[in-house]
Structure 1
Amino acid sequence: MTAQIRLVEVTDENRDAVLAVRVRPDQQRFVASVEKSFLDAEREPEGKPWYRAVYAGDEPVGFVMLSWNLVPGPGLLGPFYLWRLLIGARHQGRGYGTAILDEVVALIRADGAEELFTSYVPGEGCPEPFYLGYGFLPTGDIEDGEIVLKLDLH
């Protein structure tokens, strides 16, 4: 059974609760914080950032950020790129990551996406098994030291 989640716009009312969502300390080298994600989105508008808090019930349990329908170029994978996906430490292992990807894939397919890219920092404890298990495949490319993966949406 897939976990029940909602993707919620980040507002002044929920921003502090969303910023409080943190991965385990041993995962911090693999995924940037929500705070850094907001900074990246602000500093890199050419990446066409689209982000949402992930809620289970009334509680934020995660965060997702994509590049949404951008023109690919140097340093810009896409048109659709999963830029950030994180689940709070105490909410991991409940199927939220898969539920988020299911929701994101449905949304971008509805917008005409044929593929979704992502990347990860290699190392013990990295998210590679999760992404491969979902169906992403290595492209053979490395971008800023990260292994690039692609999910075919056909």
Structure 2
Amino acid sequence: MTTGRAPRLEKITPANLEAALALRVRAEQEFAVDPVAHSLAEAYVRPGKAWPRVIVDDGRVVGFVMAFLDFDWRDDGTDVRSGLWRLTIAADEQGKGYGRFAVNAVAEELRRRGTRTLHVTWHPGEHGPENFYLTLGFEKTDERVNDEHVGVLRL
């Protein structure tokens, strides 16, 4: 991270929207994450279920994170979960602790809301984020959503 000041999450605003939309991961990671524009469209059509934020450090937008809140995974009311929906760290900002910061910030927000588990899904693959999530303490489950693995972090 750039300064002695801690990074922070900010709501998406007209002032930071273009910087958020410009975020790009490394080319070999593109298979594993949707563009920020796609995430913001999903947030728009799921008000109250999506919690999108930019990650800002020293006045720069270095990433994007979006949580899902009390989302019905089966569309029948039997499996309501909260967790990490999207995480994008700019290619040249990776490896500096911003991803860890974002996951911890989502975990803290979910704890504040009374949630006891944080769910995440990821695409498997050589350049996918599985090792990142496992290093943070997520437990890989046998469950899959579409072609993605599911992990759970106990809060």
What is the aligned partner in structure 1 of residue 64 from structure 2?
A: 63
Instruction: Please tell me the root mean square deviation across aligned C-alpha atoms, in Å.
Output: 2.3
In the alignment, the residues of structure 2 paired with residue 150 and residue 46 of structure 1 have an alpha-carbon distance, to the nearest angstrom, of: 24
Runs of 4+ in 1 over 3 A off after TM superposition: 74-78
Unaligned runs of 5+ in 2: none
**Shift in CA distance, 75/29, structure 1 to aligned 2, threshold 3 Å:** farther
Deviates more, 1:68-77 or 1:96-105: 68-77
Indicate the structure with greater strand content.
2
- Cα 1:10–1:3, aligned 2, differ >3 Å: closer, same or farther? same
Read off the aligned partner of 2:126 and give its amino acid letter. E
Note the C-alpha offset of 1:47. Answer: 7.8
Q: Could you list the runs of 5+ residues in structure 1 that have no partner in the other structure?
A: none
| Residue among 63, 81, 84 paired with 2:83 | 81
- Which of 40, 43, 50 is matched with 2:42 structurally? 40
TM-score (norm 2): 0.89
Distance 2:150 2:80 in 1: 11
> How far apart are residue 110 of structure 1 and its match?
1.1
User: Closer, same or farther in 2 for the Cα pair 1:128/1:141, shift >3 Å?
Assistant: same
Residue type of the alignment partner of 2:122: Y
Matched residue of 1:68: which SS? strand
> SS state of the match for residue 24, structure 2?
coil
Q: What one-letter code is carried by the residue in structure 2 that aligns with 1:56? A: D
What residue number does 2:8 align with?
6
**One-letter identity of the residue aligned with 1:96:** Y
1:79 deviates by 2.2
Structure 1 contact 53–63 (Cα < 8 Å) conserved: yes
How much identity, in percent, do the aligned residues show? 36
Q: Give, in whole Å, the separation in 2 of the partners of 1:74 and 1:101.
A: 26
In 2, the alpha carbon distance for the partners of 1:116 and 1:47 equals 17
